[in-house]
């Protein structure tokens, strides 16, 4: 599987490499890395031919955007596609010296506010451009409008109203119609949000972070077919299910950003065993699996070291026998309806 093959994303001529770079780990969620390491990680992807980079203000409280922009603005603008996100704005905290945010080990000391209304979307867009040091991005993604981040169903409904009646989506459409961006996306972590977005908004793609991976195919029966029927594409974000499909089923492995439960550990251990019988690394199967679905345009695994990028690219090129996929389906370790060779 050629990781740098170009694929169309959206309806306005945007093309992305099927293997992209997800810059969440450049926000230092687990460990603080030096700037030289962040730059080397981005360089490893870019010089290998990766031409799709995704970041967000949320990653490291704006740190990821600074790092991605510092590297990419030194490259020819036509040589990469870049997406960032809207839904949060940032400001100086009331107590700068005492401010801390435990989510990011090396994040920057800025305070966030969720806001999907018109003025906030446009402010987020302009702030992102300045952090990136670039005067264009190719796509904007509506970020984290879901029950976990909004803390309740009432919170989700409130934010959907902001996006709709509050003019946030209309602002994105205006940027699209003026040619400032080439695609509008929405980030999805939870089953059930894709239909709710499609009821209200005309989107180009969904950035799906959890419901379709080698570990779990919740989105397969209904939500991915709905995307296909509407001509909406999918980019898969958390290809490794937040960790376990990269590390394997070992104690402390993460699934959905939490320590994996015993049932998940058993299932992934079974997948590992089948992969091993066919001489296929688990990570190779995890990376390639989603790309066989016709709705999926690209994957954007994260990395915070050049070595990880090189390993992921090598895994993309591993030849996986059709027999392995058949065995995974026969053992009910993946949904038998999953598209595979």
Which tens digits make up the pLDDT trace of 139-194? 999 999 998 899 999 999 999 999 999 999 999 999 999 999 999 999 999 999 99
- Is 81 part of a structural domain of the chain? yes
pLDDT tens-digit map of 188-235: 999 999 999 999 999 999 999 989 999 999 999 999 999 999 999 999
- Is 341 part of a structural domain of the chain? no
Q: Which burial class, exposed, middle or buried, applies to 34 when counting CB atoms under 10 A from its CB (0-12, 13-18, 19+)?
A: exposed
- Is 340 part of a structural domain of the chain? no
Residue 21: partners with Cβ closer than 8 Å, 6 or more residues away? 42, 45, 50, 52, 53, 54, 300, 301, 302, 303, 309
Would you state the pLDDT for residue 298? 98
Q: Which secondary-structure segment (H or E) carries 42?
A: helix 35-47
Low pLDDT (below 70) residues in the chain: none
For this structure, is 54 an active site residue?
Answer: yes
For this structure, is 267 an active site residue?
Answer: no
State the CATH number of the domain containing residue 26.
Answer: 3.20.20.100
pTM over 0.75: yes
- Is 150 part of a structural domain of the chain? yes
- Residue pair 215/241 in contact by the 8 Å Cβ criterion: yes
Phi and psi at residue 208, to the nearest 5°: -95, 120
Would you state the pLDDT for residue 210? 87
Would you state the pLDDT for residue 58? 97
Query: CA 233, CA 8: separation in Å to the nearest integer?
Result: 9
Would you state the pLDDT for residue 325? 98
- Is 338 part of a structural domain of the chain? no
Helical pair 118-132 and 63-72, crossing angle rounded to 10 deg: 50
Q: What distances in angstroms separate CA 89 from CA 57, 86, 160, 318, one per listed residue?
A: 8, 8, 17, 41
Range of the domain at 195: 6-330
Domains: count for the chain: 1
Which candidate in 25, 59, 90, 169 is catalytic?
59
- Residue pair 142/58 in contact by the 8 Å Cβ criterion: no
- Residue pair 159/103 in contact by the 8 Å Cβ criterion: no
Which candidate in 25, 28, 46, 54 is catalytic?
54
For this structure, is 257 an active site residue?
Answer: no
- Is 335 part of a structural domain of the chain? no
Which candidate in 28, 46, 71, 85 is catalytic?
85
- Is 163 part of a structural domain of the chain? yes
- Is 243 part of a structural domain of the chain? yes
Would you state the pLDDT for residue 101? 81
Would you state the pLDDT for residue 148? 87
């Amino acid at each position: 599987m050629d990781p740098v093959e170009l694929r169309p994303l959206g309806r306005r001529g945007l093309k992305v490499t099927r293997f992209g770079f997800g810059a969440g780990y450049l926000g230092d969620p687990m460990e603080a890395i030096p700037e030289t390491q962040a730059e080397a990680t981005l360089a490893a992807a870019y010089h290998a031919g990766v031409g799709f980079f995704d970041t967000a203000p949320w990653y490291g409280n704006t740190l990821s955007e600074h790092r991605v922009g510092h590297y990419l603005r030194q490259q020819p603008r036509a040589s990469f596609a870049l997406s960032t996100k809207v839904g949060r704005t940032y400001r100086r905290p009331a107590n700068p010296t005492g401010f801390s945010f435990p989510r990011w080990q090396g994040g920057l000391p800025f305070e966030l506010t969720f806001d999907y209304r018109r003025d906030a979307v446009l402010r987020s867009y302009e702030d992102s451009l300045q952090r990136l040091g670039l005067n264009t991005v190719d796509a904007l993604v509506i970020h984290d409008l879901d029950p976990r981040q909004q803390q309740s169903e009432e919170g989700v409904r409130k934010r959907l109203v902001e996006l709709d009646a509050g003019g946030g989506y209309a602002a994105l459409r205006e940027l699209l119609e003026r040619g400032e961006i080439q695609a509008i996306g929405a980030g999805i972590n939870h089953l059930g949000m894709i239909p709710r977005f499609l009821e209200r908004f005309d989107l180009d793609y969904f950035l799906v972070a959890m419901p379709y991976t080698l570990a779990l195919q919740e989105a397969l029966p209904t939500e991915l077919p709905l995307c296909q029927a509407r001509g909406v594409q999918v980019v898969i974000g958390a290809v490794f299910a937040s960790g376990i499909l990269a590390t394997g089923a070992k104690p402390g492995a993460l699934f959905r950003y939490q320590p994996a439960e015993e049932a998940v550990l058993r299932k992934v251990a079974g997948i590992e065993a089948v992969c091993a019988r066919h001489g296929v690394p688990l990570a190779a199967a995890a990376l390639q699996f989603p790309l066989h679905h016709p709705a999926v345009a690209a994957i954007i695994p994260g990395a915070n070291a050049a070595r990880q990028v090189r390993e992921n690219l090598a895994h993309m090129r591993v030849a996986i026998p059709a027999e392995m996929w058949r065995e995974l389906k026969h053992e009910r370790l993946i949904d038998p309806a999953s598209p595979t060779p």
